[in-house]
Amino acid sequence: MADILLVYGTTEGHTRGIAERIFGRCNKAGHNVQIYDATELPADLDVGRFGGVLVAASVHQAHYQSAVEHFAQTDAKALNRLTGAFVSISLNIVSDQEADHDEARDYATKFFEAAGWKPKLVHHAAGALRYSKYDFFKRWMMKQIARYKGEPTDTSKDYEFTDWAALDKFTDTFLAAVANKS
């Protein structure tokens, strides 16, 4: 079984949950997985020693978490030698408008170009409205966006839109790609 590096960036915690789901699935398949929040990466982390790397990050104001961007830029050469996968989490994926899906894909494309990283697999997952985690201004702003897009606006609740079965299938595809390269 392969050693897998799993790095994630999270703002309100939903991406951490996605990363933990991926971690559990990889572990259950018998892989040795090291999981890190991108803000807590060890200084001596040797990315090149892994058989595969999966990065998960969420889009906020058209960008991923700065720690994830820094990781990808700093380690792009090593990442490009590995079987790499990226899970992009965005509320745009919830939309029934193809233009919103295109916008979500553009965020990832721009991120890859800026970092110089070319992951072999990319999955676009729907995120969550975490009203309980937002400050007053962000809650108000997200409610306005949700109203405009026809999403839930009751700020007394949080809403999760992630398709967990699709995420599991993507994780399995990633694990098969890692196994085929070994």
| Residues 44, 56 share a domain | yes
Token code pair at residue 99: 């233009």
C-alpha–C-alpha distance, residues 158 and 96, integer Å: 20
Statement to judge: residues 146 and 72 lie in one domain: no
pLDDT at residue number 182: 59
Read off the pTM: 0.94
- DSSP letter (8 states) at residue 91: G
Residue partners of 178: CB distance under 8 A and separation at least 6: 2, 4, 31, 51, 52, 83
If DSSP codes are grouped into helix, strand and coil, which group holds residue 3?
strand
Residues 28 and 67 in one domain: yes
Supply the pLDDT for residue 61: 85
The pLDDT-based confidence of 74 (bands split at 50, 70, 90) is: very high
- CATH for 103: 3.40.50.360
Instruction: Say whether both 61 and 90 belong to one domain.
Output: yes
Do 137 and 57 sit in the same domain of this protein?
no
Shared-domain flag, residues 142 and 174? no
Question: pLDDT, tens digit, for every residue of 135-182?
Answer: 999 999 999 989 988 899 999 999 999 999 999 999 999 999 999 885
Q: CB-based contacts of 168: which residues, under 8 Å, 6+ apart? A: 21, 25
pLDDT of residue 88: 98
The answer on 157 and 106 residing in a single domain is no
What total of structural domains would you count in the chain? 2
Give the per-residue pLDDT at 72: 97
pLDDT in tens, 6-62: 999 999 899 999 999 999 999 999 999 999 999 999 999 999 999 999 999 999 888
State the Cα–Cα distance between residues 74 and 116, nearest whole angstrom: 9
Structural domain harbouring 147: 131-161
Give residue 53's pLDDT.
Answer: 98
- Strand locations in the chain, DSSP E? 3-8, 32-37, 52-58, 83-90, 121-126, 128-129, 159-160
